[in-house]
Structure 1
Amino acid sequence: MTVLIDLMGIGLVMPVTPRLVESFVGGGPSNASVTFGLLVTSYALASLLGAPLLGAISDAIGRRPVLLLAVAGLGINYVAAALAPNLLVLFAARIFAGLCGASYTTAAAYIADVTPPERRAAAFGLIGAAAGSGFILGPAIGGLLGDLGPRVPFVVAAILAAANFLYGLFVLPESLPRTLRRTFTWRAANPFRALLRLARFKALPGLALLYFFVEIGGVYPQAIWVLFTDYRFGWSSYQVGVSLALVGLFFGAAQAGLTRIIVPRLGERSAVLLGLGGYILGCVLFAFATESWQLYVIVPIYALGGLAAPSVQAVISARVPADEQGELQGALASTIGIAAVLAPICATCVFGLCTGPTAPVDAPGAPFLVEALLLVGGLLLALQTMPRRAAVRRVPITASATPA
């Protein structure tokens, strides 16, 4: 429920944020693309720095207070963004939101606390389904509200964040027993150290790099979708919202439904390969779509990519002790953060270069072709790093775990 309400708020503002940037910059999607990419990158960079910190804190004081802090920070961000008089305030609000954006990370650690290793792929898929449901409801409502003005969805998102805070305060219990909590250290909060600590466990560095490629498929289109559909098809906020809701629907079905079917029968490796294949094929089809209705047909193919992340996440989680799950999820959030820092600026720069009156060639689908090439690299890496039948096994709780 916490992730669902949180992601609804994020989904609410997705259809209108590029247009809010355009209102400050002037011109069409091409002129605003790089500025919007920098805005998304600033949020991602702040999240990269903040997520491991809050993950390490959650290992020390519990998951619940960190979730409350994250939700409160998002609520403050939405209010500031709704009232922003200029780009400087809008950037400051998004950076603050990124620093507090640990709800997904801490929720993943929460799930690891209460779920046995052999069921974690399905459980992580359930988090993805909650996120997908948020992206079903949020963009659809945000698209409708966006016709009233680009700031209105931010106000509604702030109200949702307040409701989420109250839910966490009065309903959500703590999941991490005091006996499993660790002393907080600043070293554990270093995002790059958290990634380096994965090297203590055999095969995890390669799996972490694979997780990075998988997350590229998840975050890359978010930076370009509104700009792409506006430029190529002239979509309104409502049309963008409906399409994003459809994306959320199919991603939720893949993560909550197909994950539970495919992983037990075929294993995590097959799920990852199928997911990356869906991403790659979907990207190529998006790039060459000539009619707006074609996008709706392609979305289910692309959404197969939702199988990949929870499967890789489950394999990694099973190789880390229970008392380090918060730090692990912080490290994985750093991986997502790096993808979220690089993907938007890459996508929007390619879009800016390949659109507009000064572009050498008018190719708004070029960013999707670049994404497809990146994901081919991820597919090759998956063939090397994923075991043919990923055996999920519990690692004993120790002060310093031996490589598994």
Structure 2
Amino acid sequence: MPGTEVKSISIYPLLLVNFIGTMGLSLVLPFLIFLVERFGGNALIYGIISSMYPFFQLIGSPLLGRWSDIYGRKKVLFLSQAGTLLSWIIFFIALFVPAVALADVNSGILGSFVITVPLLLIFLARGFDGLTGGNVSVSNAYIADITEDKDRSKNFGKMSVSTNLGFIVGPALAGILSVTIYGEALPVLAAILISLAGTILIALYVPESLRCGLQAQTDINAEKPSSGPEKPGGCPDISAVKKQKFRDVMDLEHIPYMFLIYFLIFLGFNTFYTAFPVHAANDLQWTIAELGFFFSFLSIMLVIVEGPLLSYVSKRYSDTFLIISGSIVLGSNFVLLSFGNTYLTYAAAVLFAVGNGFMWPSIQSMLSKLAGKENQGLVQGVSGSFVSIASILGLIGGGFIYELLGSGAFIVSAIIIFIVSLLSLRLPSFDLPRNISEETTINEQEH
């Protein structure tokens, strides 16, 4: 049977690749705000630099997702990882370029900052990584290829666990490496080596997840015409896939609504992601090591929630219940952050882990079910575009809002996530394939 081979593909090589990629990124996150300020930037510039990745991902993600439907997931994953490797090399070069001032800005609205050559190179590095950064959407499509509906929340949870394990090891390693005589150069060099390892792993150990390769589909097309999008043996019609346009995704039932939820979640997240490092450095007076320790603590909590805890609750509650309840808890975390107290900040981290750990894998599971088999790459790619738009607005807006409101920026994030909670109340009405979680919930209600 055509599906048998797919089901036999192990998820663990992809999880290892994801862990390596996340660890490489998180090596740089704890000191990026300090690096930006040293090269002349401020919170606004930090937000703009952070937004370069999603801005160019807006262009690259749908294209790479579509290519993965046509040419296979493995090739596109390799291309994406190779782009990440090159971007870290450019970033590394920026550390050794003289900080020549190109523009000096002193504004009551924008704040005071200086544009220097190293900042421009960092802009370039993050932008190039974003252009080839379809790895998340393609990885999600890969998981959908090899996973049955009843296991999707659990496997997307495993993907999140591998991400958060990377965020545990990366910041901790950054804190150790950054205090050496080599400063920030050693963590960035480590990110280069880690990205190289990820590229090699994809080439050697990640198998293709699509049931039919391009050549096999071409052979089928030549033998027998078909009026539908799927060929004999369960293979998508490659000519039909090639004719699909990005706007066709918006005609799929319930998909635009899911994209709206995606957009709002990342708008709230990225407002927080820009404001929090600046808040930690300026208001909480944390050092690089303290910031790295916090991110590691947060990631440990996420691993606990998205691993054993999510595996337990996903068997008893539906995706929609976990999305609604998780978003309420997540919004409450941002309210706690606004008080600017270290103890409350760590309490907020626990709520963040529970809320995000329940909500996010469940949303990914719902989207993959609604997308259907033949549209996984394209739908995941276009969802990446909505993520990119939200990230651009959130990252730049987060820096701007923090300059105006300080820790009040977290209240803005809370409001956005609470809106997600309200919108999620409609999700139970969506017609989804029934999985074991939903059946268990129904049985519990009946008894």
Q: What residue in structure 2 maps to residue 33 of structure 1? A: 43
Q: State which of 399, 420, 425 in structure 2 corresponds to 1:383.
A: 425
Structure 1 gaps, min length 5: 27-31, 355-363, 394-404
Structure 2 gaps, min length 5: 1-15, 98-117, 218-234, 436-447
Matches within 5 A, 1:37-48: 37-48=47-58
Report the 3-state secondary structure (helix = DSSP H, G, I; strand = E; otherwise coil) of the residue aligned with 2:39: helix
> Contact (CA 8 Å) 2:269, 2:394: kept in 1 or not?
no
TM-score by length of 1: 0.87
Does residue 8 (structure 1) correspond to residue 8 (structure 2)? The answer is no
Q: State which of 110, 121, 126 in structure 2 corresponds to 1:89.
A: 121
Q: 1:331 to 1:253 in 2, by over 3 A?
A: farther
Does residue 368 (structure 1) correspond to residue 418 (structure 2)? The answer is no
Q: State which of 271, 274, 278 in structure 1 corresponds to 2:322.
A: 271
Q: What residue in structure 2 maps to residue 396 of structure 1? A: none
Query: Hey, what's the Cα distance between the residues in 1 that align with 2:49 and 2:86?
Result: 17
C-alpha displacement at 1:207, in angstroms? 2.1
Does residue 168 (structure 1) correspond to residue 202 (structure 2)? The answer is yes
Q: 1:139 to 1:386 in 2, by over 3 A?
A: farther
Q: Which amino acid aligns with 1:158?
A: I
Q: What residue in structure 2 maps to residue 245 of structure 1? A: 296
Percentage identity across aligned positions?
27
Report the 3-state secondary structure (helix = DSSP H, G, I; strand = E; otherwise coil) of the residue aligned with 2:30: coil
Q: What residue in structure 1 maps to residue 60 of structure 2? A: 50
Q: What residue in structure 2 maps to residue 344 of structure 1? A: 395
> Contact (CA 8 Å) 1:217, 1:279: kept in 2 or not?
no
Asked which structure has the greater CA Rg, the reply is: 2
Q: What residue in structure 2 maps to residue 399 of structure 1? A: none
Report the 3-state secondary structure (helix = DSSP H, G, I; strand = E; otherwise coil) of the residue aligned with 1:318: helix
Q: What residue in structure 2 maps to residue 71 of structure 1? A: 81
Q: State which of 129, 143, 156 in structure 1 corresponds to 2:161.
A: 129
Report the 3-state secondary structure (helix = DSSP H, G, I; strand = E; otherwise coil) of the residue aligned with 1:175: coil
Query: Hey, what's the Cα distance between the residues in 1 that align with 2:147 and 2:241?
Result: 26
Q: What residue in structure 2 maps to residue 299 of structure 1? A: 349
Report the 3-state secondary structure (helix = DSSP H, G, I; strand = E; otherwise coil) of the residue aligned with 2:253: coil
Q: State which of 262, 267, 270 in structure 1 corresponds to 2:313.
A: 262
Does residue 334 (structure 1) correspond to residue 385 (structure 2)? The answer is yes
> Contact (CA 8 Å) 1:215, 1:309: kept in 2 or not?
no
Report the 3-state secondary structure (helix = DSSP H, G, I; strand = E; otherwise coil) of the residue aligned with 1:15: helix
Q: What residue in structure 2 maps to residue 289 of structure 1? A: 340
> Contact (CA 8 Å) 1:55, 1:326: kept in 2 or not?
yes
Q: 1:10 to 1:268 in 2, by over 3 A?
A: same
Q: What residue in structure 2 maps to residue 153 of structure 1? A: 187
Q: 1:367 to 1:104 in 2, by over 3 A?
A: same
> Contact (CA 8 Å) 2:334, 2:411: kept in 1 or not?
yes
Query: Hey, what's the Cα distance between the residues in 2 that align with 1:319 and 1:223?
Result: 32
> Contact (CA 8 Å) 2:320, 2:427: kept in 1 or not?
no
- Write the deviation string for residues 145-179 of structure 1: whole angstroms up to 9, x where unpaired: 23342333211101100111111111111111224
Query: Hey, what's the Cα distance between the residues in 2 that align with 1:232 and 1:103?
Result: 35
Equivalenced residues, count:
373
> Contact (CA 8 Å) 1:212, 1:336: kept in 2 or not?
yes
Q: Which amino acid aligns with 1:12?
A: L
> Contact (CA 8 Å) 1:70, 1:103: kept in 2 or not?
yes
Tell which deviates more after alignment, 179-188 or 333-342: 179-188
C-alpha displacement at 1:185, in angstroms? 7.5
- Write the deviation string for residues 168-197 of structure 1: whole angstroms up to 9, x where unpaired: 111111111224463598875xxxx63x43
Q: What residue in structure 1 maps to residue 248 of structure 2? A: 197
